[in-house]
Structure 1
């Protein structure tokens, strides 16, 4: 983690320092978890002002508080014009003191899973830092960089965006050596006009003031050519589902909770047994392998890394119940593309197929159309039961031809689902929805 003197930090941030000098040991924006000698940044949120918590942070052992309200009278403080901007600037300065190679990952779907797979592969032989959770915005990414020190050979960082120029800003902070674009899809559309805007925003990862050495791009994506042009200053390595890509799978076998395939890279091939289900995770594995190839890692090292990956909680996580029912926990998040991938995984199951579906959020003007489309796809997939929760899920239920029920009350949904589970037939129950729908509540109740 960052270790710097307060006076050096104040000078670097053009801040006004008041107090006694000391070396900080990390940073924090949350007084609930702040540790002794950490530097507190008084960032503002929609419902709070971090300046109001500066005194509490100091009382809990913070070395000082970075504030942007001149009326705050704390003794240990650095006054700056904007605390959030100062956080990003300190992360940018700290990154240039690091010897770690930075790998940045973005995409509409799967970037967190890809980050975990890649981090696992690298950590086989190298000390590797990976973004925690989804700390991928203009606050989360700086916090992650400030946790890195020179003992790490690699750092895998996630970059997200809700509007244009956000990733551009993150790239200027992180200055990555290698970048990965997993895909562009209908997600977080509230901040964009259309999917073209999403794709261009993802492409910003290629165009920092320092071009990355390698750009790892999805050959299957409709925007591959756009990204290739945007990243023409970098060496491009492609991954995808067939031999048009430099890294691709063959002889694919999809099982209930795992899969196998032959991984083909320019420097060799290996049969991979992946402890993750679904074609989309095979593509994630190919993306991670493309990064490893760019780093000149041997194919046997790639195989070892991929085969030691374990499932990520809430992402097509397979749970077997003593009753004979099976649960697929895909509650981490949802957008149209990831929902279709989950349905593809459910439809090959021989059990009675049940889909518990919460709203997909941040789809802008496309929200009704996209929820209608999911209902149509459920019909094509021969799903037996649909339990919908939320205002938009009603459109999905209305399009569904089999046993569809819609709920405003999640507790009533859980009650009816439990009753269905008692009828005796072995069921596979897929649960999915956007993060703020908190669909994991269904999982928690039905596995009791």
Structure 2
């Protein structure tokens, strides 16, 4: 963050500044505070950030954002609501930056799309992309505060856990361009149905600064019926503006064509060809040359826990443990089937969470696909799979510890093992680096 006086920050927050100082960053977790950060005391359902103010100070914070003046001889900004004030600060700070912003949303493919764009745009100028998995509203604020005048591009993921979030983030960031990736049931407990999710996702285009830089995955009728020809589409269907064909899957990436031009990427799976098509379309519209696009696509550094190919003990792992929904799981199974490997293939799955009324059908869909796959044996964790264990040939575990014991034995084999699960299960714990 550009060095900014506390008085200016207080003006943005519409609060009262106490004492004078300046800040160079913003933090909401006292454990992650860096020198000269503004520590924002957020008040949640279970945790009150004001209780950690002194820890933040000892870790190097130069000021606090609080909802009441604290009895500390220390710079503070006093506001009525620290979360609302944080939004105001982020909005004002964004307005000071001369930055080309791209927003990305969708049920699957946001992160790999972000990583592709980051790889390409970094060849043209200094680029920031959503760090790790911080694609919530608060995460977007924190990523924004990492930027200063030295950056040319910002690539931001906009997650959708509840209604209104995508709209709020795109309004804040004033995105110049946008990509809308695939559609799938996710966080269904917060939405009426898949139509509700589609309605929320397409809002990424409501505040787009340049409509000529807006592209969506056109293989989904829910998108197409809402967007039509207003923006350009990409995907496998022949009706799209940018059509993906000639897919060749390999152990080290995928080759494909987009509108008869051949490309490749070091990311794996046919779904990555679709994600790349959106990236290619957007970059071409931005005036980026083919050579740069192709170089960037073949040198992508993928965010962790997403289709990582690892060697662990005697086994080869496909680790995709950040999240799980029906379409992302089917993509992972396709990747496993296409992977050239001699030996047994095991699939380790946690249940897919927050699917609401669609949960039973979604788990059946995945298990039906497994019947047709090359998988030797399936190991599952969670009640949703347990309910179906009488109908499918799967091994079910009641707790992580029991699953862990079994999987550690699998690692001793020369086997190909897919580990795919929802974030709440943190299945990456199965792969311990000290083993």
Does the pair score TM above 0.5?
A: yes
Give 2:286's aligned residue.
Answer: 295
How far residue 227 of structure 1 moved from its aligned partner, in angstroms, is 4.3
TM-score, normalised via structure 2 length: 0.93
Any conservation in 1 of the 2:14–2:85 contact (CA below 8 Å)? Answer: no
2:242 aligned with 1:247: yes
Relative distance call for 1:260 and 1:32 in structure 2 (3 A) is same
Distance 2:312 2:41 in 1: 46
Tell me if structure 2 keeps the 8 A contact 1:270–1:303.
no
The runs of 5 or more residues in structure 2 that have no matched partner are none
Match of 1:389 in 2: 381
Kept after mapping to 2: 8 A contact 1:162/1:190: no
Query: Which residue, 407, 414, 438 being the options, matches 2:426?
Result: 438
Computed over aligned residues only, the root mean square deviation of the Cα atoms, in angstroms, reads 2.2
Partners of 1:273 and 1:209 in 2: how far apart? 29
- 2:236 & 2:75 partners in 1: Cα distance? 56
> Could you tell me which residue of structure 2 aligns to residue 156 of structure 1?
155
- In structure 2, how many angstroms separate the alpha carbons of the residues matched to 1:57 and 1:421? 42
Instruction: Answer whether contact 2:160 2:166 (CA < 8 A) is retained.
Output: yes
1:40–1:64 Cα contact (<8 Å) kept: yes
Secondary structure of 1:179's match? strand
**More moved, 95-104 vs 284-293:** 284-293
After TM superposition, the structure 1 = structure 2 runs for residues 251-266 of structure 1, keeping only pairs within 5 Å, are 251-264=246-259
* Maintained 8 Å contact 1:102/1:157: yes
The one of 358, 366, 369 equivalent to 1:377 is 369
Partner of 1:271: 262
Deviations 1:175-214 (A, max 9, x none): 1111111022111111101111111111121113867552
- Secondary structure of 2:378's counterpart equals strand
Give secondary structure in 2 for the equivalent of 1:430.
Answer: strand
Q: Distance in 2 between matches of 1:253 and 1:149?
A: 41
Larger mean CA deviation between 356-365 and 410-419 belongs to: 410-419
Structure 2 SS opposite 1:143: helix
Q: 2:18: which partner in 1?
A: 18
Mapping 1:404-443, distance limit 5 Å: 404-420=394-410, 426-443=414-431
Conserved 8 A contact 1:262-1:271: yes
Cα deviation 1:292-316 (Å, max 9, x = unaligned)? 0120111121111111114443212
The whole-number CA distance in structure 2 between the counterparts of 1:443 and 1:248 is: 38
Alpha-carbon separation, structure 1, partners of 2:384 and 2:400: 14
Q: Distance in 2 between matches of 1:387 and 1:330?
A: 15
1:183 is matched with 182
Q: Is the 1:371–1:395 contact (alpha carbons within 8 Å) kept by the matching residues of 2?
A: no
Say whether 1:342 aligns with 2:341. no
Q: Is the 8 A contact 1:92 1:172 kept in 2?
A: no
Q: Determine helix, strand or coil for the equivalent of 1:32.
A: helix
Alignment of 1:217-256 (within 5 A): 217-228=216-227, 232=230, 236-256=231-251
SS of match in other structure, 1:216: strand
Q: Greater CA deviation, 145-154 or 412-421? A: 412-421
Q: Within 1, Cα distance between the matches of 2:218 and 2:208? A: 25
Paired with 1:126 and 1:397, the residues of 2 have a C-alpha distance of: 52
2:353 pairs with one of 342, 346, 361:
361
Alpha carbons 1:41, 1:66 under 8 Å: kept: yes
- What does residue 62 of structure 2 align with? 63
Retained in 1: the 8 A contact 2:235–2:242?
yes
Provide, for residues 30-51 of structure 1, a one-character-per-residue CA deviation record: whole Å limited to 9, x for no partner.
2112122111111123321112
**How has the CA–CA distance of structure 1 residues 5 and 226 changed in structure 2, closer, same or farther, with 3 Å as cutoff?**
farther
TM-score w.r.t. the length of structure 1 is: 0.90
Instruction: State the distance in 2 between where 1:278 and 1:421 align.
Output: 24
Contact 1:10/1:17 (8 A) holds in 2: yes
The more displaced of 250-259 and 123-132 is: 250-259
Distance 2:400 2:60 in 1: 42
Quick one: distance in 1 between partners of 2:95 and 2:225? 30
Change (3 A) 1:35 1:312: closer
Change (3 A) 1:123 1:334: same
Instruction: Decide which moves more: 90-99 or 339-348.
Output: 339-348
Q: Name the SS for the 1:148 alignment partner.
A: coil
Task: Indicate conservation of the 8 Å contact 2:345/2:416, yes or no.
Answer: yes
Name the CA shift for 1:94/1:386 in 2 (closer, same or farther; >3 Å): same
Contact (CA 8 Å) 2:178, 2:208: kept in 1 or not? no
Report which stretch shifted further, 209-218 or 328-337. Answer: 209-218
> Is the contact between residue 386 and residue 397 of structure 1 (CA under 8 Å) also seen in structure 2?
no
Distance in 1, matches of 2:390 and 2:120, equals: 44
Tell me if the contact between 1:88 and 1:142 (Cα under 8 Å) persists in the aligned partners.
yes
Cα distance in structure 2, aligned partners of 1:107 and 1:153: 24
Q: Which residue of 2 aligns with 1:194?
A: 193
Compute the displacement of 1:71 (Å): 5.8
Aligned residue in 1 for 2:8: 8
